[in-house]
A and B are shown apart, each in its own frame.
Chain A
């Protein structure tokens, strides 16, 4: 409020006095400081920095002053309004921070509440171990090849040097497709995929065949009539058993840890000559438990080695059946069971767990093995 003029041509106005201006500033600053939130500050701003505030009104008085007084009064009021504006901004900033903190505090939640609204599934470890193994061989330059599960007897047996009267043929508990001379079986191994590959393409051949195979065994803790294998085949000039050993050693260390090696023991398979049983160095004790019963190694039974599969140099008769000249090319082949690998790799004690499809078994393997 401006005070009434005392004179017609005033040289001074009460509202513009130093005291009045200073008082208005103090009042404004006090009002701002006592504002507890942004709403109160808004009211204080209207009172003390708005169009109807004392300083705004005082500012209007300046026009009526004689020119000689205008400059001084203008400077005084201008500085005062600037000071009020700064105080307001400072208080505004403080209260905004306070408000933000309060809002964030109010919005806090219990983040420990489980949010399993979209449960994730899991892949079967047989799938993932197969892929892991395939990746190791793909990195070495192998192709991954599939073949039919119902297979001709010719591909499954005859071409693999297992003629109709071969004693090893009756050793295999083969599922035959009806009728008796249908010439078809559920493949007993993935070896027919090797045959198909050799028939399809000339050497060099470096391939692996992972897949399901079948033997007429009843399901129990260590057997299943439907199981999985991975087999590998290399056919090239100058292939040696040393290459077989090197490949298996590399595979073993890639899957079980640096430095883990394999061991070959003489054996017999119709499709390889020479043939060998394949043992894996125990990746848990690395052979340190050999002969020890206390503490014994549960993975290898303190033998230091784990039976893993079979291998050998491709029998020249098998190459011949596929039209490959054994004078020019030699090959090696190997194979192992995936269920068995999973059992000792992960400490699975009962084959049935891998077969029955209980989701509680599969889920812990998640998306990777």
Chain B
């Protein structure tokens, strides 16, 4: 809401020395969000004067219309050679001899640092400029030269004050509870309170309307739904002069508030709406047939609104209609067929009150937000319509003539809400001492009537504050007017708690471990497209195709939520590569989304007046997709770069598996690795990661086709784990190992097996055979080549034996070693390599 300061001062006599910025500061402290303070035509510097067009000479030798105008500019401003007059070249054609215009004399500076000078152009001396609104920084009206209404001023008068140049305008972002601040009236009231000056209410002056002309009755109005439209008024004016111009001061204020001047009738309804907050609508009376009525729309009914959109209505819409059908969407926008235009001489002026949620629903259903709907859905003063329409009728008749025929109205009875307020509550909530006098004073400032009734205050909020409905609303009013800066700073005493949960501690550890292990955290947006899943080669029946789709995605290419962290890491890796990075190791811990069953019925919406039942809450949770937290890494280039120590070690599938093991260690769970096949991995270089029986993820080298489709460097490797499942398995208390101190016996063995034999399985066989004396086993070498034969490999293990209670004898160690080899022979046909 834009508030010209002069308009505000009309109703709140703020001390003259207070600047717009000072006023803004006061308003901010009382809770209005003043975003900017600007001044009208900020960059314009004089001399600007009013000119009277004497004659217009068309210069026809040019391709476009060029006119040489002689303008009277007053005795002091004429050219030395032509006293009182100046000749000016102008390309616009929307003015004629006799019009009053604004002249920027040589020396004026217009917005854009554009200095006006006397210059020769089109063969004449142009001695100034005839200005448009846009050139003066007043608006974006491209209609041409700004023509002032006749009689506005004398030639030579300074134009600045007439145009309101330099006027300060506050721009306020109005929160949804403060509908009243969408008016000069509401903001002026806050300013008056803030400065402690007397407020004159423009909304409570019925003004001096002419006595209605009784020769014909005013036009009829009806409300068929007194809940949705609990007050409807209609004033009738005939014999209106459609050519009457809007006075310049009114145009100036409309422009300062960001509205275009359209014609007197519409301008007046807008002006009064800005001033009072009451939306008004002017119908062309001659185009109405039958009573104006508020009623639910009929099924299949249509309405073309003023924005030229043909809308299909539903019975949930409330419309304004006449006998022929809908002529307006209630509280939102009028219809085209009954619009006021440049020939309308009879006006039916509607001022009504609508139920806020009704207007909100209409506005939402038709995706149509208007100046009117913004006000109605935030709540408009219920008592305002007759006052506002009286003010508008008065202005219409004053500037457009015509006869007033009177008003018709229908109204539902009002049941005022009285709020009982415990006078201790404001102080208890604020945490400060507040006496009752202060509380009552502040509530009266807001406009409330306050009465003591036993232990409580009975508070009747003013009609313009429909947002005040319960005691806490009143507490807020009291505290904000006293000032939040009066609230002390104090810490509550909090019962002792247990600190971070195990899950949070583990997630931190995982992040720290991966970062320490060389991975950089890069959280990605969760939006993906099926293209990305296709790129990864994810099969159609894969769980990762159980996608949650957004109704209004930012990009049609990515309407789904991710089921894997890999698409995000891949995009991030590619971005880093495109920016010149070569060795990349990324990780993300984040949530993925798996759609549940589609529901046939609409989602439950339990009442919020009380706690929903457990089964209602369970129903709500059943809606939600499965949303586990995953952890994933992606790496490419060198894991260890080349250096003076030697060559680089390229990142590989083994790093990805190691990263998975690192995560498992950080979580504190076991991870079993077997080989398997899963997109997007290389079928021969894919590790299936298990905890117990559950598959918890995959790691390995990406499939060469995936690498190609995703435009990644060759041999890119990756890993993804379901972190939630791992955290569920984590033990809070780790049992300490038994440390044996007897001497260790070391034995190395090399076994030749088929090249397909998994090292892990062979090691398991060896360990099983070695028995209880085996302390540890470790693969330390792998060999393939002539010595072991085609299709075979040699795996070398170092074994460590130890007994808890004695030094092992050579015989015992040999026996254990032979048993270990025997098991490998038995299970895999292994041959001991000598």
Q: Tell me the A residues contacting B by CB distance below 8 Å.
A: 113-124, 126-127, 131, 134, 138, 140-144, 146, 148-155, 158-159, 161, 163-168, 170-171, 175-184, 186, 199, 204, 206, 212, 216, 218, 225-226, 234, 236, 238-243, 245-247, 249-250, 261, 263-268, 270, 273-277, 313, 315-317, 320-323, 330, 355-360, 362-363, 366-367
Contact = CB atoms under 8 A, between A and B. Distances in A.
A167 B378 contact: yes
Q: Which 4 A-B pairs have the closest CB atoms?
A: A183-B603, A323-B611, A242-B431, A266-B31
Interface in B479-511: 479-480, 484-485, 487-492, 494-501, 503-504, 508, 511
B521 A124 contact: yes
Contacts of B581: 359-360
Nearest to A224: B525
B55 interface: no
Nearest to A184: B623
Contacts of A165: 356-357, 360-361, 364, 377
B501 A144 contact: yes
Contact of B522 (A170, A225, A362): A362
B30 to A, nearest CB: 6
B611 A362 contact: no
Nearest to A354: B523
B586 A359 contact: yes
Chain A interface SS verdict (over half): mixed
Contacts of A120: 515-516, 518
A181 B363 CA distance: 18
A84 to B, nearest CB: 44
B576 A263 contact: no
Given A127-B521, A242-B431, A149 B591 contact: yes
B610 interface: yes
16 contacts: A120-B516, A121-B515, A141-B494, A149-B526, A154-B620, A155-B620, A163-B608, A167-B356, A179-B551, A183-B603, A226-B526, A242-B432, A268-B175, A323-B611, A357-B523, A360-B581
Contacts of A178: 549-551
Given A113-B644, A134-B504, A366-B515, 18 more contacts: A121-B518, A127-B523, A149-B593, A150-B561, A152-B603, A167-B176, A175-B551, A183-B604, A183-B623, A186-B550, A204-B494, A204-B495, A212-B590, A250-B491, A263-B484, A266-B31, A357-B575, A367-B512
Nearest to B633: A121
Contact of A150 (B178, B523, B552, B593): B593
B599 to A, nearest CB: 8
Contacts of A143: 497-498, 501
B585 interface: yes
Nearest to A242: B431
B511 A273 contact: no
Given A119-B583, A263-B485, A359-B522, A246 B175 contact: no
A263 B491 CA distance: 16
Interface centre among B500, B523, B579, B589 (most CB of A within 10 A): B523
Interface string B240-280: 00000000000000000000000000000000000000000
A132 to B, nearest CB: 11
A115 B643 CA distance: 8
B491 A313 contact: no
Contact of B624 (A150, A167, A168, A170): A150
B176 A270 contact: yes
A320 B627 contact: no
Contacts of B500: 134, 138, 144
A148 B579 CA distance: 34
Contacts of B549: 177-178
B645 interface: yes
B603 A181 contact: yes
B475 A184 contact: no
B521 A121 contact: yes
A175 B591 contact: no
A121 B551 contact: no
Contact of B520 (A181, A216, A322, A362): A362
Contacts of B497: 138, 141-143, 206
B518 to A, nearest CB: 5
Contact of A123 (B501, B511, B551): B511
A182 B623 contact: yes
A50 to B, nearest CB: 40
Contacts of A148: 624, 627
A246 B492 contact: yes
A330 B425 CA distance: 11
A266 B526 contact: no
Given A120-B516, A152-B603, A246-B489, A171 B176 contact: yes
A199 B479 CA distance: 29
B470 A316 contact: yes
A316 B491 CA distance: 22
Contact of A266 (B484, B489, B490): B484
B521 A168 contact: no
Nearest to B521: A124
B554 interface: yes
A91 to B, nearest CB: 41
Contacts of A115: 643, 645
Nearest to B483: A266
Interface string B547-577: 0111111100000010000000000100110
Interface string B340-367: 0000000000000000110011011000
B584 interface: yes
B620 A268 contact: no
Nearest to B379: A167
Contacts of A154: 603-606, 620
